[in-house]
A and B are shown apart, each in its own frame.
Chain A
Amino acid sequence: MGKLKKMAVGVLCASMLLGCVGCGDSKETAGETIVLRILENDTAKKEGYLDALLEAFNAEYKDKGIQAVDANMDEYTDLAANGPYGYGPDVIYQANDKLMTYAEDKHILPIDVESLDCYSVTPEAAWEAFKINIDGTTYTCGIPVNIQEPMLFYRLDMMPEDWESNWDKDGNKVADFFENWNDLYAYSKYLRDTDTSANGDSQYGFMSSLNNLYLNGEFLFSYGAYVFGSNDDGTLNAADIGLSAGDAAKGLMAMKQMASLMNEGCIDDTIIMKRYEKLADGSYFCVVSTPDTYSLFIEKLALAYEAEGLSAKEAEEKAKENLMMIELPGKLPADGDLTKSSDAMTEDDWIDTVVMGGVNGYGISSYTKYKDACMEFVNFATSYEMIQTRMNTLGIAPTRSDVAEASGGVTDMIFESLSEGRIYLMPSIKAVDQIWVPAQSLMGDIAKDPYREAAGELGKYVTIGQLEEAIEKVDQDIYDAIFTLKD
């Protein structure tokens, strides 16, 4: 046998041995200590809340032999795919729709919620988001932490100087354009009409990427639309899709009117991407976003102030003073016509704004070996102190009534909105995954209509009838996506 062949055989054997070494068991033993893997969202990690939580928990439970660590996984890791094979987290933080998708297949455990400290101070509506009915029995599979709903962000120092005299007709010290959509439309129109910049793109009023159902759900749900209807036993019926229900088409007409006062960025994600920067530079008067992005707005606004010559500390303080986060205007016109003057409208002409929202919370993986330790962790993580820390660090709206009350202001308002049904919670069933793209495709297309018309083309959604037809088609598309391939 030639030398070359011998060498080749040697190399092959060596590679095989190395391969075997590489395949060796690399598991680490945790000794006597129970190690819990906690999956939190990226913002909590980035802003340092997760570290604070883990540190506090580990200090408290040091003597009890429980240690919590960052699961170090993608925030949207698939528990259904990884959990059964031992790779998932022990405790997972997610929105109710995602968490309950896991609950449907029993990937997260039902919890004896009454044993938790937060039980009595959390509203029933928040618990409802985590309830599931299996074989006639109702289980609760998540522990609510905070409420998510689209919020309006604006700068106090960008308020019109005359707002108290000209934009507060009822004199309640709240600008009318933050109370009803017709005045928000009117003020946005005023800003557009008085934009004297060369390209007419220096001042906009209300701005939102209208292709986003979650951020713009008020144009549907305020008018009687719903995602899934209910069965007689109260469970959700995925076959009953109701985005076109009620006067949803009127809401979409209002959305189209609003789109005409934005720019083409409302058709796609452009406004979502630029909102922090554009609010900071004053081009956008107010934008829609979720509470967990509060810190990002502060960051950009502080940078803008720094650019104006303030020190980093002063800039941050000024940003915190000036950045306002409030709920969306509470009243929409019943007929969907935003162009009408609010002066000419009576109380009956308004309907309450209902936004789409969600409740984020903790779930415990069914594949954890340490259920009791996980319960200890979620009990600790939903304690008054930790929820308050979370609220202060991340700007979230807690589901704990005591923390919300103590905080007051917006937090309490969001809490009230949830309790009073002004937040349409994302349905907690798997089929909800199918609603986003069809709805997003239509909403983007409707937002484009004013720009078609401005370019001399024919609008696709000129009449209410056309909008009705389009939204009914979306219902059908969602139905098809859910049921076409079912056996």
Chain B
Amino acid sequence: MKREKPSKIVIASCCIMGAGQLLSKQWIKGLLYLFIFAAYVTYMVTSGMNDIKGFFTLGTVRGDAWLGIQGDDSIMMMLRGIFAFLLTAMFVALHISNVKDAKGLAKRLEVGKELPGFLQATQIFLDKKFYIVALLLPVIGVLIFNVLPIIFMILISFTNYGGDIVPPELVDWIGLGNFEKILSLTEIKDTFFRILSWNFVWAFLATAVNYFGGLGLALLLNKKCVKHKGFWRMFPILAYAVPGFITMLAFKFMFSYGGPINYYITMSGHSAIGFLDIDAGWTARIIGIAVNAWITIPTSMLLATGILSNMNTDLYEAASIDGASKWKQFIKITLPFVVFSTTPVLITNFIGNFNNFGVFYFLRGGLYNDGYFLASDTDLLINWLYNLSIDNNYYGIGAAISLIIFIITSVFSLLVYVRSDAYKKEDTYR
């Protein structure tokens, strides 16, 4: 059978997916490509073009349930638009692979090599590009369940979605309007910077307390003089095993006016203390740090226990012979080793604490302080974001704040990580 010229094969595949393969008698592969091409074109004609158009307009017809007018759902239109763009990107990637494949076929034909059959080509592909097969499903899953919502959230921050603008009202693109509001409206700006500064203090303090608390506990329980170590280790694990929100609610009750702490305070003849009152200020903040420590120290302890078990005891012996004190040994041997091994975990903890929603939501939700816009003085950015977007429907502003949190935390973690020994001196302890 006569085969087409190599150049024609590439041109045909460029124009119509799979055409080059069909010209090369690669029937199954060609038909598969052609099917994808046809499916994409059908999708674009029937819905994709409208979805992309809708992404830009976010709807033109306002719904009216009473009159039976369904109207445009701006948010669904945005989602469908994003989906259309993602599908288009995937189609482009497949088209490129189709052209590359056609080029490969053309090359083989030029040098007179036999073209492999479909089964053989599939086997070669599965063997050489196994990573693609293995990662395809997870990547699609990540795209749909992770990337799509993130893109959606980012895009929402550029709209006026929220407040009175919720379906059936039509949402509009407003560019950087939400960011301008955060940085220009006095109340929002002041609240933002107040909460941001407390958020940093909280994240540093909570991370440090949890980290060193866990390390200290691990060191203590590692000491030879401690008997029944397993028994003692059980208690922090028990604290860890109780669901976090249950613990937080229990602490809220403990520190409330009707709780056991105030009961004993009043029994001893003193006045009850408003640990979590509106004017509690730093008392409430410190309680938050302590509650968070209660929940997270067990994890740090377990981590540190594992790392300490890998320590080379010869180092301590040598240090003792050289006259190093216990403190010196801790500073110069234990700490660098543990910090080196746990830098990525430390960063994760910091980010986790920076975005720690539960502690102050459960301990002190439902309070607004003077000088704060829809927030209290213990709220973190994530709590404020919740107040704005869930309690008060200001989704656009909420999305803008979450984008700012994302930028802050990602830049911070990247900077810290690339400057850390764990990244720079990867082989030090190998």
Given contact pairs A9-B133, A268-B257, A107 touches B65 in the complex (Cβ within 8 A)? yes
Given contact pairs A268-B257, A367-B65, A445-B279, A485 touches B397 in the complex (Cβ within 8 A)? yes
The yes or no answer to B185 lying at the interface (CB within 8 A) is yes
Interface residues of B in 356-398 (CB under 8 A from A): 366-370, 373-374, 391-392, 394, 397
- Docked Cα-Cα span, A444 to B126, in Å, equals 68
Do residues A264 and B66 form an inter-chain contact, with CB atoms below 8 A?
no
- Docked Cα-Cα span, A451 to B272, in Å, equals 9
Do residues A5 and B65 form an inter-chain contact, with CB atoms below 8 A?
no
Given contact pairs A106-B168, A438-B368, A441-B368, A12 touches B66 in the complex (Cβ within 8 A)? no
Do residues A484 and B126 form an inter-chain contact, with CB atoms below 8 A?
no
Contacting residues, chain A, for B169 (C-beta < 8 A): 105
CB < 8 Å A-B pair total: 118
CB closest chain-A residue, reference B397: A485
Do residues A1 and B258 form an inter-chain contact, with CB atoms below 8 A?
no
Binds B, one of A249-257, A407-415, A473-481: A473-481
CB closest chain-B residue, reference A4: B130
Do residues A9 and B279 form an inter-chain contact, with CB atoms below 8 A?
no
Do residues B271 and A451 form an inter-chain contact, with CB atoms below 8 A?
yes
The yes or no answer to A455 lying at the interface (CB within 8 A) is yes
Contacting residues, chain A, for B370 (C-beta < 8 A): 473
Q: Which of A110, A270, A486 contacts B256 (CB 8 A)?
A: A270
**Chain A, interface residues (CB within 8 Å), range:** 35 or more
Given contact pairs A270-B256, A448-B277, A109 touches B266 in the complex (Cβ within 8 A)? no
**Interface 1/0s, chain B 178-193, versus A by CB < 8 A?**
0001000101100000
Q: Which of A15, A106, A434, A445 contacts B65 (CB 8 A)?
A: A106
Do residues A15 and B137 form an inter-chain contact, with CB atoms below 8 A?
yes
Do residues B258 and A270 form an inter-chain contact, with CB atoms below 8 A?
yes
The yes or no answer to B274 lying at the interface (CB within 8 A) is yes
The yes or no answer to B73 lying at the interface (CB within 8 A) is yes
Do residues A481 and B374 form an inter-chain contact, with CB atoms below 8 A?
yes
Contacting residues, chain A, for B322 (C-beta < 8 A): none
- Docked Cα-Cα span, A21 to B181, in Å, equals 47
Do residues B185 and A441 form an inter-chain contact, with CB atoms below 8 A?
no
Distance from A79 Cβ to chain B, minimum over Cβ atoms (Å): 11
Q: Which of B66, B126, B163, B257 contacts A110 (CB 8 A)?
A: B66
The yes or no answer to B123 lying at the interface (CB within 8 A) is yes
Given contact pairs A264-B257, A454-B271, A1 touches B126 in the complex (Cβ within 8 A)? yes
Do residues A80 and B166 form an inter-chain contact, with CB atoms below 8 A?
yes
Do residues B65 and A480 form an inter-chain contact, with CB atoms below 8 A?
no
Do residues B366 and A1 form an inter-chain contact, with CB atoms below 8 A?
no
The yes or no answer to A59 lying at the interface (CB within 8 A) is no
The yes or no answer to B64 lying at the interface (CB within 8 A) is yes
Do residues A484 and B373 form an inter-chain contact, with CB atoms below 8 A?
yes
Interface residues of A in 25-61 (CB under 8 A from B): none
The yes or no answer to B134 lying at the interface (CB within 8 A) is yes
The yes or no answer to B349 lying at the interface (CB within 8 A) is no
Given contact pairs A9-B126, A107-B65, A199 touches B394 in the complex (Cβ within 8 A)? no
Contacting residues, chain B, for A455 (C-beta < 8 A): 271
Distance from B85 Cβ to chain A, minimum over Cβ atoms (Å): 22
- Docked Cα-Cα span, A444 to B168, in Å, equals 37
Contacting residues, chain B, for A15 (C-beta < 8 A): 137
Contacting residues, chain A, for B65 (C-beta < 8 A): 84, 106-107, 109, 366-367
Contacting residues, chain B, for A1 (C-beta < 8 A): 123, 126-127, 130
Do residues A480 and B187 form an inter-chain contact, with CB atoms below 8 A?
yes
The yes or no answer to B415 lying at the interface (CB within 8 A) is no
Given contact pairs A433-B392, A434-B392, A366 touches B66 in the complex (Cβ within 8 A)? yes
The yes or no answer to B216 lying at the interface (CB within 8 A) is no
Interface of A is mostly: helix
- Docked Cα-Cα span, A434 to B397, in Å, equals 17
Interface residues of A in 260-287 (CB under 8 A from B): 263-265, 267-271, 273-274
Distance from A249 Cβ to chain B, minimum over Cβ atoms (Å): 18
The yes or no answer to A158 lying at the interface (CB within 8 A) is no
Given contact pairs A445-B279, A484-B188, A109 touches B257 in the complex (Cβ within 8 A)? no
Q: Which of A12, A16, A448, A473 contacts B134 (CB 8 A)?
A: A12
The yes or no answer to B209 lying at the interface (CB within 8 A) is no
Distance from A262 Cβ to chain B, minimum over Cβ atoms (Å): 10
Do residues A444 and B277 form an inter-chain contact, with CB atoms below 8 A?
yes
Distance from A54 Cβ to chain B, minimum over Cβ atoms (Å): 26
The yes or no answer to A440 lying at the interface (CB within 8 A) is yes
The yes or no answer to B278 lying at the interface (CB within 8 A) is yes
- Docked Cα-Cα span, A430 to B391, in Å, equals 12
Do residues B272 and A264 form an inter-chain contact, with CB atoms below 8 A?
yes
Contacting residues, chain B, for A80 (C-beta < 8 A): 166-167
CB closest chain-B residue, reference A103: B66
Do residues A437 and B366 form an inter-chain contact, with CB atoms below 8 A?
yes
Do residues A481 and B73 form an inter-chain contact, with CB atoms below 8 A?
no
Do residues A486 and B368 form an inter-chain contact, with CB atoms below 8 A?
no
The yes or no answer to A487 lying at the interface (CB within 8 A) is yes
Distance from B191 Cβ to chain A, minimum over Cβ atoms (Å): 10
Pairs of residues from A and B, 6 with the lowest C-beta to C-beta distance, nearest first: A366-B65, A270-B258, A264-B257, A264-B272, A455-B271, A106-B65
Other A-B pairs, 15, CB within 8 Å; known A8-B133, A434-B392: A5-B126, A201-B266, A264-B257, A264-B262, A264-B272, A267-B274, A268-B257, A270-B257, A273-B258, A366-B66, A437-B366, A440-B367, A473-B370, A485-B162, A485-B188
Offer 19 A-B interface pairs, CB within 8 angstroms, sorted by A. A1-B126, A8-B133, A84-B65, A84-B168, A106-B66, A263-B272, A264-B257, A268-B257, A268-B276, A270-B258, A274-B258, A437-B368, A437-B391, A440-B366, A444-B277, A444-B278, A445-B279, A480-B373, A486-B163
